[in-house]
Amino acid sequence: MNRSNTYIFIYATVMVTVVAAILSFAAITLKPYQDKNVEIEKKKNILASVKVECTADDAEEKYEKFIRESFVVNLNGEKVKSVDAFEVNMKDEMKKDASQRNYPVYVFVHSDGSKKYILPVRGKGLWGPIWGFVSMESDFNTIYGAIFSHKGETPGLGAEIDTPEFQAQFDGKQIFNANHEFTSVSVVKGGADPDNINAVDAISGGTITSNGLDAMLKDCLKNYLNYFKKHK
Partner 1 sequence: MSEREPLFSPKNIKSLTQPINLNNPITVQVLGICSALAVTVKLEPAVVMSISVLAVLAFANVIISLLRNSIPSRIRIIVQLTIIAMLVILVDQILKAFAYDVSKQLSVFVGLIITNCIIMGRLEAFALGNKPWPAFLDGVGNAAGYGMILIIVAFFREFLGSGTIWGYPVIEKLGLYELGYENNGLMILPPMALVVVGIIIWVQRARNKELIEQN
Contact footprint for partner 1 (CB under 8 A): 1-3, 7-8, 11-12, 15-16, 19, 22-23, 26-27, 30, 33-34, 37, 41, 56, 127, 149-157, 159, 204-205
Q: Give the C-alpha separation, 232 to 204, whole Å.
A: 36
Whose Cβ is closer to partner 1: residue 36's or residue 115's? 36
Q: How far is the CB of 3 from partner 1 (least distance, A)?
A: 4
Q: How far is the CB of 38 from partner 1 (least distance, A)?
A: 8
> How many other C-beta atoms can be found within 10 angstroms of the C-beta atom of residue 176?
18
> How many other C-beta atoms can be found within 10 angstroms of the C-beta atom of residue 125?
25
Q: How far is the CB of 9 from partner 1 (least distance, A)?
A: 10
Whose Cβ is closer to partner 1: residue 19's or residue 98's? 19
Whose Cβ is closer to partner 1: residue 172's or residue 194's? 194
Whose Cβ is closer to partner 1: residue 103's or residue 148's? 148
- Side-chain half-sphere exposure of 10, counting CA atoms within 13 A: 5
Whose Cβ is closer to partner 1: residue 5's or residue 76's? 5
Whose Cβ is closer to partner 1: residue 7's or residue 230's? 7
Q: How far is the CB of 155 from partner 1 (least distance, A)?
A: 5
Q: Give the C-alpha separation, 135 to 64, whole Å.
A: 17
Q: How far is the CB of 195 from partner 1 (least distance, A)?
A: 22
Q: How far is the CB of 147 from partner 1 (least distance, A)?
A: 13
Whose Cβ is closer to partner 1: residue 113's or residue 155's? 155
Q: How far is the CB of 166 from partner 1 (least distance, A)?
A: 13
